Structure 1
């Protein structure tokens, strides 16, 4: 069954491949982006966008909104509802990555990471849920890097934000079941970042960061291993998400961990 899907965008490249795969499957797909020029971005959006180009993106609509502005998000949701008649699925794809000692990240940096990932997801969810609750039907999917058990030095802020997103998703799953709304959290391994993904956020306090690098250099994590064929891995994530959407209502898994892809 064809569904209207709102992909809120992400920072690690997977969201674009998921959007393209869902459009190829016949769904009506909207991808949320910042208030920038979309046409230039579509040429090099992730492995799927880069390889498939404008012809593939012709099946996907883009909708502009500012992630930190509730009114902008509400306007984007209204546009989709007006054009498509509703929103069946929302896919949150924020998965921030940070690299550096926690002490060296300024409070402002942490607030920005939290705002653009956690609070933005909450803004979108709040804009969409009243419509889904009224229909007593809908699906929320969170997707991103998993939070491995145990400590992970020098990746703390990003992990903390991802853990917060997972906790929110689990709470929503329990609370929305009575309204006929499913929630699934999809995670994949940290070694499968795309080569085209933005660099991890670096600490703003360079002096403190230098002290850690000088005194505990051997503790710094090695660079994430890149997959031999990132397009193949991205398509596996897309296939997983597509399977969740096509699954029977009420029988969708609460958490799918793709470790490894």
Structure 2
């Protein structure tokens, strides 16, 4: 069992981040759960829990959060947003928002915690991406690009942090219909789908909503993150969810 005891998790207002915070609390860890608009009622009351505001696209917010958090032993970059749309219908402002949150947000928060990890020569960073980076899917070109960039960033970062005894891992969830991904993705769809893509888009939406095939549950991701943080023997890429595991083994 690892001796690490404090984890900071981004994007804890729902879905994977919320369940991961609960999981670490259940395991006896001190948890710093961050979200843009903090809500104390989302998690169990505990003297091991702190809920802090964090906007991963705002440098000042990141700086204040890391200062308020104090020493941490593990960072879980989970905050993210989806975008489900044909590329031709994507507003570039929305595409930039996806990359600002998913990619640059992950990079910025990681950069902010590196000095303390490097100085202590200890720490773990876990970045949550997606299995869409393993198997291309339609209508997700921008989202997949943002997550694939994090994969490459993570694997390169792991090499430069290894001399400081800092581990870096990836958790790749599968399709999770029960999360807010779909709502967020449709919000960024903008004014709608170009007519030429309407029928195709509807068929993809139906497949996304289908729960008769294996899917990923939030607890699957929480358990994978737990393994990544506490077990040094885990591989660089850890699939999370029945569909993710099946895809990784294919």
| TM bracket, shorter-chain basis | 0.7 to 0.9
Which residue number in structure 1 is paired with residue 62 of structure 2? 73
1:179-218 equivalent positions in 2, closer than 5 A: 179-190=164-175, 192-195=176-179, 197=181, 199=183, 200-201=185-186, 202-206=188-192, 209-213=194-198, 216=200
Per-residue deviation at 1:24? 1.3
Cα separation, 2, equivalents of 1:129 and 1:64? 20
Q: 1:210 offset after TM fit, Å?
A: 2.5
Q: Which runs of 5+ in 2 are unaligned?
A: 244-250
Tell me the residue number matched to 2:11.
9
Q: CA deviation at 1:74?
A: 1.0
Separation (CA, whole Å) in 2 of partners of 1:111 and 1:219: 26
Partner of 1:122 in structure 2? 107
CA shift for structure 1 position 144? 3.5
Match of residue 77, structure 2, among 85, 88, 92: 92
Cα drift, residue 198 of structure 1: 5.2
* Corresponding pairs, count: 238
Distance 1:136 1:225 in 2: 45
Residue 234 of structure 1: how far off its partner (Å): 2.3
Of 22, 26, 37, 2:28 maps to 26
Q: 1:256 aligns with which of 217, 238, 243?
A: 238
CA distance in 1, matches of 2:29, 2:150: 26
Q: Name the CA distance, whole Å, in 2 between partners of 1:163 and 1:26.
A: 33
Residue 240 of structure 1 corresponds to 224
Question: In structure 2, what is the Cα distance between the partners aligned to 1:169 and 1:123?
Answer: 13
Deviations 1:55-97 (A, max 9, x none): 4x6642111122221122111101111xxxx111000113432
Aligned to 2:86: 101
Deviation (angstroms), 1:161: 0.9
- If the length of structure 1 is used for normalisation, what is the TM-score? 0.80
Structure 1: distance between partners of 2:21 and 2:161: 24
Matches of 2:47 and 2:89, distance apart in 1: 43
The answer for unaligned runs of 5 or more in structure 1 is: 43-48
The change in CA–CA distance for 1:28 and 1:134 in structure 2 (over 3 A counts) is same
Shift of the 135–2 alpha-carbon distance from structure 1 to 2, 3 Å rule, reads closer
Aligned to 2:150: 165
Q: Distance in 2 between matches of 1:187 and 1:126?
A: 21
Partner Cα separation in structure 2 for residue 203 and residue 239 of structure 1: 31
CA distance in 2 between counterparts of 1:167 and 1:26 reads: 32
